[in-house]
Amino acid sequence: MSFQAYLDNIKAKTGKTPADFKKLAEEKKFILNGKLNPNCKATEITNWLKEEFELGHGHAMAIYASFKGKTD
């Protein structure tokens, strides 16, 4: 599955884009000044995405990758 396919499936399931998730991550202090909080582990972010949005691990990692700057 391509990266874009992951993002498309996430949007279909949650109604949210990577930009939407980024705003939510900023509210949770996972992202500070537009960059990942260096004190935050990837597991914290993926667990949040799994619990709150019922994403699978691969889909949660795709959102995490988008936070790291991976483009679609």
pLDDT per residue rounded down to tens, the chain (72 residues): 788 999 999 999 999 999 999 999 999 999 999 999 999 999 999 999 999 999 999 999 999 999 998 864
pTM score over 0.85: yes
Q: What is the pLDDT, as a whole number, of residue 71?
A: 62
Q: Break the chain into its structural domains and give their ranges.
A: 3-67
DSSP 10-66: HHHHHS--HHHHHHHHHHTTSEETTEE-TTS-HHHHHHHHHHHH---HHHHHHHHHH
